[in-house]
């Protein structure tokens, strides 16, 4: 391995924990935005998760001399015609950046209250982007399908209110009842099979 550190472009503790798990087979020290002195952030104004992930990775790659990984995801609820889309937290502009988990979840449940059980399907369209110090860029797209419960179960992960009603079809469990290995199984396999990343890192 030619690199010893990587910046994961997030201040979210849940995402930090996730990528620590995904990178456990690599001899990499993970840094996050909380370790940096910079306060500015890029404007995530692109139309796809991949474009926004690349935008963020490029922004931070200009400020550090280690590889930068950024991720983004669009949330698509089939019964809502694909809403909220790539700006899931802000719900396409309906909410401001400081919307609370409770406000977001309450709105979501209200929108879903009359949706029949067989139509409560959804997916995350996620993307990872890595920009290296020499300017090389690689990306990976990931689709994570799930089912939406009618009522929250066992709380939710701070910063991820959808986890209150996200149901894993493979394990037939609510997200909050899954182990970390079960929660991140798909992402772990994607990381293990990411040939482009392995060849460069």
- Identify the burial level of 57 via C-beta atoms within 10 angstroms of its C-beta, where 0-12 means exposed, 13-18 middle and 19 or more buried: buried
In terms of Cα–Cα distance, which of 157, 186, 156, 152 is closest to 170?
A: 186
In contact, 105 and 152? CB cutoff 8 Å: yes
> Known catalytic residue: 35?
no
Residue 144 dihedral angles phi and psi, to the nearest 5°:
-125, 95
> Which of 27, 35, 65, 72 does the annotation list as catalytic?
72
In contact, 5 and 66? CB cutoff 8 Å: yes
Catalytic residue numbers read: 72
């Amino acid at each position: 391995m030619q690199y010893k550190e990587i910046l994961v472009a997030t201040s979210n503790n849940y995402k930090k924990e996730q990528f620590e798990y995904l990178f456990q087979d690599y001899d990499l020290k993970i840094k996050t935005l909380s370790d940096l002195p910079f306060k500015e952030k890029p404007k995530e104004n692109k139309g796809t998760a991949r474009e926004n992930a690349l935008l963020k990775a490029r922004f931070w790659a200009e400020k550090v001399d280690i590889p930068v990984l950024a991720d983004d995801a669009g949330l698509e609820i089939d019964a809502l015609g694909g809403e909220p889309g790539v700006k899931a937290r802000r719900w396409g502009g309906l909410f401001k950046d400081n919307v609370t988990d409770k406000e977001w979840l309450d709105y979501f449940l209200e929108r879903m209250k009359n949706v029949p059980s067989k139509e409560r399907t959804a997916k995350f369209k996620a993307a990872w982007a890595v920009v290296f110090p020499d300017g090389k860029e690689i990306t990976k797209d990931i689709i994570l399908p799930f089912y939406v419960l009618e009522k929250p179960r066992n709380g939710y992960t701070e910063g991820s209110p959808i986890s209150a009603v996200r149901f894993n079809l493979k394990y037939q469990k609510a997200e909050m009842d899954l182990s970390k290995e079960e929660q991140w199984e798909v992402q772990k396999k994607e990381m293990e099979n990411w040939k482009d990343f392995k060849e460069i890192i």
